[in-house]
Amino acid sequence: MAMTIIISIDGVEFTGKTAASKALVAELSAMLVHALPPPMELDMRSPPDIAASFDYYLSENLAIGRQLASFTKEMPDLAFVIDRLYSTEATHLALDRLRCGGKNEDSMRRKLAAAAPSMPQPNLAIFLYVTAAERRVRAQEHLATHQYLQSKDRYFDEPLAMRTQDNLREIAKRLQRNGKTRVAEFDSLPASQLSEAVIAVARSRPSAQRAAVRVR
């Protein structure tokens, strides 16, 4: 019996997640699953209620886990691409450190540990990274064609983005140590190369399941 393909894609804004997700969905005839619910508005100018926001996003992630478990039973031959599975953890730990001095970190990590068995378990976790300089260039390019981004402060919060990215790197290392999920990491690849790269990794042989892939 073929194993259901579940692929997660994570990265901060402007790393190419949308292009990579679309490429995988098209190549694998997969279902795209959004792990993040509609945004919970936070006032980024003052200490936000990190605990409430984290609980909100974590509960939605668990709901996705239950939904995905049902889907894989009903449609075992269908591939699934999860958009931003690990972003709840990475972003909230970064927000808590920068805005609240890390006061919620222990509580969040306990909740993450308790929730882990019920979270989606990807076969392949893809992490997209970008340098701060390259991210600034891409942000300006996006701003030229997506004016609504001007009102989205978090997209242009460089300290938050870079700390979130550091957290994603730590999550990738943790997955590699666990050895149950194949990990692929891509650094600052242009869109023209990124789509082909993620497809190649997704199409690689199952015998490479525990191998870690890094592309710069």
CB 5 within 8 A of CB 80: yes
pLDDT score, position 61: 87
Residues lower than pLDDT 70 in the chain:
1-3, 35-48, 144-156, 205-216
pLDDT score, position 72: 87
149-175 per-residue burial string, b: 16 or more CB within 10 A, e: under 16: beeeeebbbeebbbbbbebbeebbeeb
pLDDT score, position 1: 43
3-state secondary structure of 8: strand
21-30 per-residue burial string, b: 16 or more CB within 10 A, e: under 16: bebbbebbeb
Per-residue pLDDT of 57-103, as tens digits, reads: 898 889 888 888 888 888 888 999 998 899 889 999 999 999 899 99
Spatial distance between the Cα atoms of 4 and 123, rounded to a whole number of angstroms: 8
Per-residue pLDDT of 99-116, as tens digits, reads: 899 999 999 999 999 999
Q: Comparing C-alpha atoms, which of 142, 126, 192 is closest to residue 13?
A: 142
- Domain ranges (residues) in the chain: 6-215
Q: Is the domain 6-215 a CATH 3.30.70.20 member?
A: no
pLDDT score, position 34: 77
pLDDT score, position 124: 94
